[in-house]
Structure 1
Amino acid sequence: MTRPTLVRGGGDPVTVFAHGFGGGIADTRPYASGVDGTKVFYTARAHDGIPVDEFGYGPLAEDLRNVADAASATRAFGVSMGAGALTHLLEHTPQRFDRLVFFLPAVLDVPRGEAARAVLASLREAIAADDHAALTDAILAEIPESVRGTPSATAYARIRAETLLMPSLAGLIEILAEQVAVTDLSSLSRVSAPALVIACTDDAAHPEAVARQLAETLPEGRLEILGGTDAVWTRRDRLRALISEFLNEDDTL
């Protein structure tokens, strides 16, 4: 099935952007603000309101591959769930892209730990109760206290809660929570593309250890730790600069 996409910019290189669970195109667009060439954003399956028969990192990787192939993308960016889809794709086709960015990877070949499961459990309970207010509060609880009361944080939590309560996403967070992104971590050692892995400290849902292991496994992996989870909110300029500078590098030089 063709995924809903948004294309901005033009020319080479072509970069595809994969969002996280409960997110969408609006979440990945800010990361591409300084990226050269053509930027292709898409909505992952079930996030467009259409129920699906299959969900998980395998089907999500298939969506990513189809969008990338249709756009002739040579570079890829994935955040959280999107990073998992990207690693799954690379497990089977390690040479598909020539430059990669993984932002807040959540899981590799080992199931999520207790802290990550606790974060997901709080979301699942509110989703199961179809309680928008409780779900919004659960999402806000993930946001650092220093920025939790800001209008941007409140708007983010409200919009994400609306997305997570879509009927098409019912039950899917449970499926994703039990899966690993790759079955054979050593397969990623065949990825020759330069890769940037970005993490934050003290992020229970996206452990720094996962990002560190991914960067160490990828032969051309580079790890960047932004600091605490508030860095996503307070150091956005630095985050966008990291992404654009890395993706704008010319591998032919």
Structure 2
Amino acid sequence: MSTPPRIVVTRPGEGGRRLVDALSTAGFEAVHPALMTLQPLAADEVERGAVLDFDLYDVVVVTSPFAAECLDEWIDRYWPQLPQGPRFYAVGASTAATLHRTLGIKAKVPDPARGTTSEALLAMRSLTRLDGQRALIVGGSGGRQVMAEALEARGARVAKLALYRRVYTAPDEVTVDWLASGAFTAMIVTSGELLEHLVSWCGQAALNKPLIVSSQRLATLADTMGFASPHVASGATPDALVTAVQEVGDA
């Protein structure tokens, strides 16, 4: 009986676990090393002015399911009812589903055919012109600068509300061996910061293995780091990433 192809999944948290399940169902050996955790910011680290002024924003962009969960806690803390002013946008379907479950919000999401990336969200027609509108980007500390700059270029006054941080950890010994020797079929990375964190452990064999990424921006970054075979999935959903892995295997 042949050994199923080993796929290294770097996405953290519940999103990573869903991806592992999807890969396992598709017949792969999905391994999920602990490389990063998401940690809510303490109350004194959060810009509470953005929460208190929540009803004054025209556009609120929520960048991840964990950001949606954290936002629910902060809204519950300061607002007896959800403010009705903002139009909500979610980078992907999982984030939109979390917003609906926690806050009852029906957020706008990018066309699935364009994928689940910042670029796909920015391509939405309703975000093309934002002259004088106030926009709030809700996510983790750091990141999403491209989105902020793009919204500002379209006329919006942009603020960012960071509700959590990413905490990176060194791979365990088994994963270090896999990365050093390239003892896997492909690796999936959906975050530029995570890619930068991992590259120092990757030997030449690992750099030559297929790297599945969720956007062209990540593929370009991977190329500058020496990854020889980046492949861009149609999005960051489990289905899109599994399909990309299957396509690499069939090539």
Larger Rg: 2
Same fold (TM over 0.5): no
Structure (1 or 2) with the greater strand fraction: 2
* TM-score, scaled relative to structure 1: 0.35
**Greater relative CO (CA pairs within 8 A, separation 6+):** 1
* TM-score, scaled relative to structure 2: 0.35
